[in-house]
Structure formats: structure tokens, C-alpha cells
Amino acid sequence: MEVKQLLTKLQEHFEEMVIIRRYLHEYPELSHEEVHTPAYIATFHRELGLEVREGVGGRGVVATLHGGRPGKTVALRADFDGLAIQELNEVPYKSKNDGVMHACGHDGHTATLLVLAKVLAGMRDRIEGTIVFIHQHAEELAPGGAKAMIADGCLDGVDVIFGTHLWAPTPLGQVLVRDGAIMAAADRFEIVIQGKGGHGAEPQHSVDAIVVGAHFVTQLQTLVSRRVAPLEAAVVTVGQFEAINPFNVIADTVKIQGTVRAFDETVRQQVKEELELLVKATCLGMHASYEFAYFDGYPPVINHVAQTQYVQEIAKQVPTVEQVTVCPPFMIGEDFGYYMQHVPGTFFFTGAKNPAWETVYPHHHAKFDFDERAMLTAAQVLGAAAWSYLTSENQEDVVV
């Protein structure tokens, strides 16, 4: 009965979610540069009477709600950083910070968690245990904020953690879950190929770094198809190939940057080693030299089985959820995986595709947006999961 009251109160506060989300959308801040946003979050929680820590792991905020009775501790997490993108949407809440945009839904994540905290704070006397609201900075830029916040104690005493991502490609009303690997490790590499520049008319006196780089990128396509086992998963993408020269000059150097994605740690290390071996062999055969740098990014997000099945059953009983689907793993990355290296938990996707929109722009696009009703769905699933976990000790049919 109390969970039903929680869901109803969240419905009544939906318009407040929208107001908060749109305000945050107007004032996005880049990763590791967040100032106004964490201050806004901290003030909101303090006005609810919650215990608040600022500057956690750098710029994170942790608010703690102590229930009226003793019990376990549940953590809920939302990220709040924006991206270096110039917004092209013509909406009343368009970003007012030039060159910065909430193009991934983190404004919605924050609004969801703030209003959920407000509703739960109004029911605190009936809560058995503690709820920790983790507001994380810098999810978009490795090394990210999660690792530093954990080191600064955001998970101290936490028994379980839940998180979600508003997901624009998935229709509103759907929730995507998966136990085990749901998101991949996300690494970055940088390569500088050093040739020997010269006159465009006299290639015999030069080593063309562009040609060397092009051969490397072409051969790179066989790394996954011929070096990684067919039943394993990996992606290697070159996102930058830079050689700026006059039209009649043979390039002296080329800079190549890209990303590696994998679920399995052995495959991740294999690709890393094969990458350098391939650039070394290419350069050796074409009389060039190279510099190779590899940056380990986020680990894969590995959902715990029991917690995933628990949220799956909870979500089925939430009125705004029309369908719960076991999804395939995604090659995108998220530093939520760090949290689940320390405590059990699960991360799920909340569908946010407006059925009336003919075009749905992807995350990290200058015209990205989402159906704001997805925030209510996310809040109801997270709220029901937290409340039921604390008050019913993870039993079946905890919502009914």
C-alpha cells in the first residue's frame, strides 16, 4: 500500500520534475567543471532536511535520507554533467551556455532523483533504513566521477545500488534490463605516425605519413574479424585522423585517435596489445616510426543477477511501465560499473522515445531530446525498488 502511495505522489510531482529538468537544461556544465549544478543539488536536498556532503570526489554531491526505523541502506545514482555540443533545438529551455548542452539526458536523471528524494523525504517516518542519493559529476569524461566518489566514501555502508539511463531510442513505457554485462569497457588510444615530409612532386625522398596511417587503419579492420574469437565481442573505431598540410606537401606526421570497446577483460587486453603490434609492424614495413598511447577507460557495467531480477519484477508492477524487456548488451560505456565492483546492484534503461516524434535524434546529438514522461517512469521504478528493498527484505510481489 505504501509503495502505491509513493507512486501516486511521484505522479503528482511530475510537473516539478519537468520544471527542474528544463532549468538544468538551460544551464549545462562540462565534466569536471561543474559549479552551479552541484550547488543547486546540494541546496535542494538541504531544504528537504537531508544530510548533505558536497565536493565528494571532486564535484559530486551525496545526500542521505535516514528513515524512521533502522534497516539496510540503498543507494540511487544520477549523473549531472553536460557535453561540449552547441544545441540546435529550438525549444523554450534551450541551453544558454554557448557550446555546452545536455545532450545525453543527465538533466533528466538529476530532476528524477531530486523529486524522488523530495517525495521519499515526506514519507521518511515509514522508511525502514537509509537511502543515499549519489549525484555524480563527470560521467562523460574519463576517468569520470564515480571512481573518485567511491574513494571519497559515497558507498560507505551501502548494501545495494540502483541506477538508470533515460534512453531515447527505446519507446516510452519500456524498461530494458539485463543481468551480467549490459555495457562495455570504453578505452581510448592515440597514435602519432612519424614519416618524413617533403615536396608533393618528389615522393621518393619522403615517407608519406598519410599513406602509412591509411594502411594502418585499413589493416585495423581485420583486428576484430581475424584476431578476436568469433563468439567474443569487440569494437575498434578510429574517430580522428589528422594530417593538416598544404595540398602539395607530403605529410610528415599523422595523428590517429580512436576507441576500443569490449565486455571481457581478456579480450580488452588482447585488443590493446594487438593494436600496438599492428602499428609497429606497419611502420616498420614502410620506414616510419610511431608513438602509441593507450588509456584505460571505464570498466564494463556488469549487473548482478539477483538485483537485476529484483528490479525486473518491480518494474513489471509499476503503472507507467508497459513492457519490461531483457535487452542485448550495448557497446556504449558508463562508469556506473565502478559502483558494482564494490556493492551489488543493477543498471537499467528507461525508454524515452516520444511516439509522436518522426525523428528521434541519438544521444550526443545537437538536436537530442527525450520524452519527459520517462522521468516519471524512472522515478517510480527506482522509488519502488528502493522502498520495497528496505521494507520487504527483497521478497517477491513487494509492490502489490
The strands making up 253-262's β-sheet, listed across from edge to edge, are 234-242, 253-262, 185-194, 289-298
Q: Is 112 exposed, middle or buried (0-12, 13-18, 19+ CB in 10 A)?
A: buried
Query: For 67-95, how does the pLDDT look when each residue is reduced to its tens digit (9 = 90+)?
Result: 999 999 999 999 999 999 999 999 999 99
pLDDT of 297 higher than 50: yes
2 catalytically annotated: no
Classify residue 159 by its DSSP letter: -
Average pLDDT over residues 296-322: 97
CA gap 268, 279 in Å, rounded = 17
pLDDT of 300 higher than 50: yes
Q: Which residues pair with 160 in a beta bridge?
A: 74
Report the relative pairing of strands 174-177 and 323-326 from DSSP bridges: parallel
What integer pLDDT is reported at residue 391 of this predicted model? Answer: 86
Give percent above pLDDT 90 in the chain: 97
More confident residue, 357 or 394: 357
What integer pLDDT is reported at residue 364 of this predicted model? Answer: 97
Report the relative pairing of strands 128-136 and 69-79 from DSSP bridges: parallel
Q: Which residues pair with 262 in a beta bridge?
A: 185, 234
What integer pLDDT is reported at residue 392 of this predicted model? Answer: 64
pLDDT of 353 higher than 80: yes
257 and 294 in contact (C-beta within 8 Å)?
Answer: no
pLDDT of 198 higher than 50: yes
86 and 47 in contact (C-beta within 8 Å)?
Answer: no
Taking the CA atoms of residue 248, residue 250, residue 252 and residue 257 in that order, the dihedral angle to the nearest 10 degrees is: 90
User: 60-73 burial, b if ≥16 CB within 10 A, otherwise e?
Assistant: bbbbbbebeeebbb
Cell digits of residue 164: 538508470
Cβ neighbours, 10 Å, residue 241 = 16
Q: Which residues pair with 323 in a beta bridge?
A: 174
Residue type, 351: G
- Give the global pTM: 0.94
Catalytic: which of 87, 139, 208, 372? 139
207 and 237 in contact (C-beta within 8 Å)?
Answer: no
Query: For 151-183, how does the pLDDT look when each residue is reduced to its tens digit (9 = 90+)?
Result: 999 999 999 999 999 999 999 999 999 999 999
CA gap 210, 26 in Å, rounded = 42
Average pLDDT over residues 41-59: 98
Catalytic: which of 81, 140, 274, 369? 81
Could you give the C-alpha distances from 270 to 150, 240, 261, 277, 338, in angstroms and in order? 28, 22, 12, 11, 22
What integer pLDDT is reported at residue 1 of this predicted model? Answer: 66
Sequence length of the chain is 400
SS3 for 133? strand
| Average per-residue pLDDT for the chain | 96
What integer pLDDT is reported at residue 394 of this predicted model? Answer: 45
Cell digits of residue 195: 614519416
Rg (CA), the chain: 24
SS3 content of the chain, % helix, strand, coil (to 5): 35, 30, 35
139 catalytically annotated: yes
Average pLDDT over residues 20-39: 98
What integer pLDDT is reported at residue 399 of this predicted model? Answer: 41
Q: Which of 140, 133, 160 is nearest to 28 (CA)?
A: 140
Task: Grade residue 397 by pLDDT with cuts at 50, 70 and 90.
Answer: very low
Average pLDDT over residues 331-342: 97
Task: Grade residue 30 by pLDDT with cuts at 50, 70 and 90.
Answer: very high
Cell digits of residue 223: 583486428
